Amino acid sequence: MSLATYDQGTNYYEETGNGEPLILIHGVGLDHHMWEKQVKGLSKQYRVICYDMLGHGGSDHPPGPYSLSNYVAQLAGLLQHLQIDTCHLVGFSMGGMVAQAFALEFPKKIKTLTILNAVANRTAEQRNAILLRVEEVKQSGAVSTIEPAIQRWFNPDFLATNESFVNGIRQRLQTNNPHSYLAAYTLFATADQELWPKLSTIKLPTLIITGEQDVGSTPEMSQCMHQQIEQSELLIFPNMRHMLPAEDANSLNQAIDRFIKKNAVPAVR
């Protein structure tokens, strides 16, 4: 267990391996445990750091509302604590929003940016659907939304053969602090509107990935981000839904590693 304090609170984080720093940001309602297959695979070559976002897991749970700037400050505080000047940054789902916001605020701290299964520029229909879920959480708590989320996130074959992993995700969702979760989920439902007009100003090597069958973070959204971010690559994983880091970890790890190596700065001679 590792804790890092910064001016707004305390971060829980774990780090494994040596090499260039690779920071992993989880999705809303989850925590650093979702990255276990990335830690195992990528820590052979990188210093892999995963942490619990504000309002999640072992990090601080201040009262809401939350803003993207709160999450940017949290990550900046973690990098300062770890004395990391530059890193490779990977954000999943809501973590992808945080990664985008951090890239906009601190571009010189990022060597490569990977936006994984993230939303962008929701349509009116998509926005209404998630705002209805926010209202459901407000009225009844998150319990009724958990099983539908798991069915959206995983392929049936994975659900049938990876009961232990899926139960870990289910337990995380069931045990979230309800006030923190509502604050984070409310931000997740609206933050794409804040980010979308600014995406074209990101001038970093960026890898944008989603699953072909991800109904929340759709291929169309990733295509839109790809069109906005000049130095970006787009990768759509066939037959995958939302929890790509779990379902096709080896291929994802290889894609991240390949992209980092492709964009490595040549040594000065």
Q: What is the mean pLDDT of residues 34-44?
A: 97
Q: 143-153 and 124-140 are packed helices; what angle lies between their axes, rounded to 10 degrees?
A: 140
Containing H/E element for 2? strand 2-6
Of residues 131 and 264, more confidence is placed in: 131
Q: Are the CB atoms for 126 and 201 separated by under 8 Å? A: no
pTM comes to 0.96
**pLDDT, position 267:** 44
pLDDT tens per residue, range 94-148: 999 999 999 999 999 999 999 999 999 999 999 999 999 999 999 998 998 999 9
Q: Indicate whether 267 belongs to any domain.
A: no
Residue holding tokens 């571009």? Answer: 107
**pLDDT, position 207:** 98
Contacts of 164 (CB under 8 A, 6+ apart): none
Q: Indicate whether 213 belongs to any domain.
A: yes
Q: What percent of the chain has pLDDT over 90?
A: 93
**pLDDT, position 220:** 97
CATH number of the domain residue 205 falls in? 3.40.50.1820
| Residue (of 122, 72, 115) closest to 93 by Cα position | 115
Containing H/E element for 207? strand 206-211
Q: Indicate whether 122 belongs to any domain.
A: yes
Q: Are the CB atoms for 239 and 30 separated by under 8 Å? A: no
Q: Indicate whether 125 belongs to any domain.
A: yes
Within 10 A of 126 (CB to CB), how many other CB atoms are there? 17
**Lowest mean pLDDT segment, chosen from 4-8, 25-29, 226-230, 252-256:** 4-8
Strands 9-16 and 21-25: unpaired
Q: Indicate whether 268 belongs to any domain.
A: no
pLDDT tens per residue, range 54-94: 999 999 999 999 999 999 999 999 999 999 999 999 999 99
| Number of domains present in the structure of the chain | 1
Q: Indicate whether 17 belongs to any domain.
A: yes
pLDDT tens per residue, range 240-249: 999 999 999 9
The CA distance from 129 to 260, in Å, is: 35
**pLDDT, position 1:** 59
Query: 251 — phi, psi (to 5°)?
Result: -65, -40
Query: 170 — phi, psi (to 5°)?
Result: -60, -45
Range of the domain at 254: 2-262
Q: What is the mean pLDDT of residues 179-199?
A: 97
Q: Indicate whether 64 belongs to any domain.
A: yes
Q: Indicate whether 90 belongs to any domain.
A: yes
**pLDDT, position 268:** 41
